[in-house]
C-alpha cells in the first residue's frame, strides 16, 4: 500500500503535513502516480492526468512557500468516474459510442472542488453508462478488486472504489443511480455516500436515470466525504432539480443523545441474505442496543416491489436519455453506411454494449402505448407508496439500518443472469427510489476475508447525522 495513503489518510492529516513541510504536494502526487503504475493491472483507471496533476501540485507548493491563500481542499487528490465532465478531457461513460468525446465544461461539483485547490489525478473505469453492479460491462474491460483480484469490485463505480482502495488518491467521485457508489464501496471495504436527491448538482453528469442519478463520494473516512460535501452541495442555476434550501453542516458534532434506529424485520427472513451477513447484522443490532441506542424492527411490506419499480422506471428514463446518441452530433459513428436510418442503426448496434441495449429495449417497451399504464404508471404509483412509507418510519426513527448487499462479491466472469444481477441491488435501490441520503460503512471481515458493510438512510433535513454518527465519541 502507498506510504502516503497510510501516513496521511484524511484531509486534515494531508494538509497538516503540507503546512508543516513534512511533505510537498509534488511528492504526494508523485507517490500517488507511482501507486497507479503499480496497480494498472486492476484496470481502475481509463486515463491518468499525470502532467496536469504535477503542475497543479507545483502551484500549491509555490502558494505554501509564498504563504499565499490556499483553497479549502489544497493537497486533496481525487479521481473522477468516467461519466463526470471535466473540461477539455475525454469522457466516455465507459462506452464505445462516446469514444474520443471531449467534455466542453466541468460538472458543477467538479468545478467547485477545483476552485478550492483539489487535484484530479485521473478518470476511472465504470460500467457502461452506469448500467451494472459488477464493473464488467465497461467497453474498457472489467475492474479487479484490490482485496482479491479474482473478485468483482462492484459497480457501476468499481474503478472509483478501487482507486481509493489501492491508495492512488484520497477520495473518488462516483455516481449512484441504484447503489453504484455504496455497493462497490462495500465490496472494497470503504465508505460510500449517496446524497439526498438534489443536494449536489447533476450538471455535467452523463444521464442514465435522471430522477435517480446522484453524484456521490467514496473514501476511507466519512469525514473526508463530509469535507467534500461541504464544497459540492448547494443550489445550482444549471440544474433545476437542485434543492434550493441550504445544505446541512456535514461537519457538525455528534448528537448528544442516543438515536432511534429502525431495521426491517422482513430482511432478516430473506432467504437470499448470506448467513454470515445475517449473523453480522444481528450482532450489530445487539452491539448498538448495548451502547444505549433504541434499535427496533419495523414492518416494511413493500420490499418485493423495490426491484421491479426501480428497473421499470430507470430503464424508461434510460431509453429516453440515451436516444441522443445517434452518431450524428458527437461520439462514435459507424462506417460504410448509406442512409440516415442505417447510420442510426449501425452506430447504436456497434456503439452500445449488450447491457445498455437490454435496458433501452426494456425502457422502450414499458413506455410504449400498449404498456405505459400497465407498467410505467403503476411503477410511479409504487414509488410514491414506498416514499410515503419511508417518511412515516423516519418520523419515529432517526435512521434506518440495512445491509448493502445480500451476498459477497462474486468471481469475475462467473455466470450471472441479468435478473440475478438486478436482484443484487435489492437493498440499495430504496435510497434512490425515495431520494433519501444513505451512507455505506464497513463493519467486519468474515472468515474468508470478504468485507461486510451496512448502510444508514435518513431524511434529507438530517443528512448530517450520517456523518456525525462516525465521530469518535461514538
User: What is the rounded distance in angstroms from the CA atom of residue 71 to the CA atom of residue 220?
Assistant: 22
Measure the CA dihedral 260/264/267/268, to 10°.
Answer: 60
Cα 407 from Cα 430, distance rounded (Å): 17
Burial class (CB in 10 A: 0-12, 13-18, 19+), 268: middle
pLDDT at 416: 73
What residues have CB less than 8 Å from 380, skipping those under 6 apart? Answer: 313
Count CB atoms within 10 A of the CB of residue 272: 12
CA-to-CA distance for 295 and 51, rounded, in angstroms? 51
Closest to 192 in 3D by CA, of 230, 166, 233, 158: 158
The DSSP secondary structure of 237-284, one letter per residue, reads TT-TTS--SPPP-TTPPPPSSPPEEEEEHHHHT-TTS-HHHHHHHHHH
Given this model, what pLDDT does residue 21 score? Answer: 95
Q: Which one-letter DSSP state was computed for residue 98?
A: G
Please name the residue that has the C-alpha cell 501516513. Answer: 7
Whether residue 218 is predicted with pLDDT greater than 50 in this model: the reply is yes
Q: Give the Cα separation of 12 and 73 in Å (integer).
A: 10
Give pLDDT tens digits for 403-456: 999 999 999 999 778 888 878 899 999 999 999 999 999 997 644 456 899 999
78: β partners: 120, 171
Distance of alpha carbon 230 from the chain centroid: 17
C-alpha 80/C-alpha 45 separation (Å) is 9
| pLDDT the model gives residue 474 | 39
Catalytic residue among 180, 382, 424, 468: 180
Return the pLDDT at 1.
44
Q: Three-state secondary structure along 219-234?
A: ECCHHHHHHHHHHHCC
Element (H, E) at 439: strand 438-445
- The three three-digit cell numbers of residue 260, written as one number: 432511534
Q: What is the CA angle 353-93-32, rounded to 5?
A: 125
HSE on the CB side for 222, CA within 13 Å?
25
Rounded CA separation 94/300 (Å): 36
CA distance linking residue 187 with residue 440, whole number of Å = 10
Q: Which domains does the chain have, with CATH numbers?
A: 3-232 (3.90.1300.10)
21 is catalytic: no
Cα–Cα dist 1/38, whole Å: 10
* Percentage of the chain exceeding pLDDT 90: 87
Q: Cβ(15)–Cβ(116) under 8 Å?
A: no
Q: Choose the catalytic residue: 5, 24, 79, 81.
A: 81
pTM: 0.96
Residue 151 forms beta bridges with which residues?
411
Crossing angle of helices 25-38 and 50-65, rounded to 10°: 160
> What confidence tens digit (pLDDT) does each residue in 286-320 have?
999 999 999 999 999 999 999 999 999 999 999 99
Give the rounded percent of residues in the chain with a pLDDT score beyond 70.
96
Is 156 among the catalytic positions?
yes
- 17-56: per-residue pLDDT in tens? 999 999 999 999 999 999 999 999 999 999 999 999 999 9
- Active-site pick, 156, 157, 163, 440: 156
List, for residues 264-295, the tens digit of each pLDDT value: 999 888 888 999 999 999 999 999 999 999 99
Judge whether 180 counts as a catalytic residue.
yes
Mean per-residue pLDDT for 232-253? 94
Amino acid at each position: 500500500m502507498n506510504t502516503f495513503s497510510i501516513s496521511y489518510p484524511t484531509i486534515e492529516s494531508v494538509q497538516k503535513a503540507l503546512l508543516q513541510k513534512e511533505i510537498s504536494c509534488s511528492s504526494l502526487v508523485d507517490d500517488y502516480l507511482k501507486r497507479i503504475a503499480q496497480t494498472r493491472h486492476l484496470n481502475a483507471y481509463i486515463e491518468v492526468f499525470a502532467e496536469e496533476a504535477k503542475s497543479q501540485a507545483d502551484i500549491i507548493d509555490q502558494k505554501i512557500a509564498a504563504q499565499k491563500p490556499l483553497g479549502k481542499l489544497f493537497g486533496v487528490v481525487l479521481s473522477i468516474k468516467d461519466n463526470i465532465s471535466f473540461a477539455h478531457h475525454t469522457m466516455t461513460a465507459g462506452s464505445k459510442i462516446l469514444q474520443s468525446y471531449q467534455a466542453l465544461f466541468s460538472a458543477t461539483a467538479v468545478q467547485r472542488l477545483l476552485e478550492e485547490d483539489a487535484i484530479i489525478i485521473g478518470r476511472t473505469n465504470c460500467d457502461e453508462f452506469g448500467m451494472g453492479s459488477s464493473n464488467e460491462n465497461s467497453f474498457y474491460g472489467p475492474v479487479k478488486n484490490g482485496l482479491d483480484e479474482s473478485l468483482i469490485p462492484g459497480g457501476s463505480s468499481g474503478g472509483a472504489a478501487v482507486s481509493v482502495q489501492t491508495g492512488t488518491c484520497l477520495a473518488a467521485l462516483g455516481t449512484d443511480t441504484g447503489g453504484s457508489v455504496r455497493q462497490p464501496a462495500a465490496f472494497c471495504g470503504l465508505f460510500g455516500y449517496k446524497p439526498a436527491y438534489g443536494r449536489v448538482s447533476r450538471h455535467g453528469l452523463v444521464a442514465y436515470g435522471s430522477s435517480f442519478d446522484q453524484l456521490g463520494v467514496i473514501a476511507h473516512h466519512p469525514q473526508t466525504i463530509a469535507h467534500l460535501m461541504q464544497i459540492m452541495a448547494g443550489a445550482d442555476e444549471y440544474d433545476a432539480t437542485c434543492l434550493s434550501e441550504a445544505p446541512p453542516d456535514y461537519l457538525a458534532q455528534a448528537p448528544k443523545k442516543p438515536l432511534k434506529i429502525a431495521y426491517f424485520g422482513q430482511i432478516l427472513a430473506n432467504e437470499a441474505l448470506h448467513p454470515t451477513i445475517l449473523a453480522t447484522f444481528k450482532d450489530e443490532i445487539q452491539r448498538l442496543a448495548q451502547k444505549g441506542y433504541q434499535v427496533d424492527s419495523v414492518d416494511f411490506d413493500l420490499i418485493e416491489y423495490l426491484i421491479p419499480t426501480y428497473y421499470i422506471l430507470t430503464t424508461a428514463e434510460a431509453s429516453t436519455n440515451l436516444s441522443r446518441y445517434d452518431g450524428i452530433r458527437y461520439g462514435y459513428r459507424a462506417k460504410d453506411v448509406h442512409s440516415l436510418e442505417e447510420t442510426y442503426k449501425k452506430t447504436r448496434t456497434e456503439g452500445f454494449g449488450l447491457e445498455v441495449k437490454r435496458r433501452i429495449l426494456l425502457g422502450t417497451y414499458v413506455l410504449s402505448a400498449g404498456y405505459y399504464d400497465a407498467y410505467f404508471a403503476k411503477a410511479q404509483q409504487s414509488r410514491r407508496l414506498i416514499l410515503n412509507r419511508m417518511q412515516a418510519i423516519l418520523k419515529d426513527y432517526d435512521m434506518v439500518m440495512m445491509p448493502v448487499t445480500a451476498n459477497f462479491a462474486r468471481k469475475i466472469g462467473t455466470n450471472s443472469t441479468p435478473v440475478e444481477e438486478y436482484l443484487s441491488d435489492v437493498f440499495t435501490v430504496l435510497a434512490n427510489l425515495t431520494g433519501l441520503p444513505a451512507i455505506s460503512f464497513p463493519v467486519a471481515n468474515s472468515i474468508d476475508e470478504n468485507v461486510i458493510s451496512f448502510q444508514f438512510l435518513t431524511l434529507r433535513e438530517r443528512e448530517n447525522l450520517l456523518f456525525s454518527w462516525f465521530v469518535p465519541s461514538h
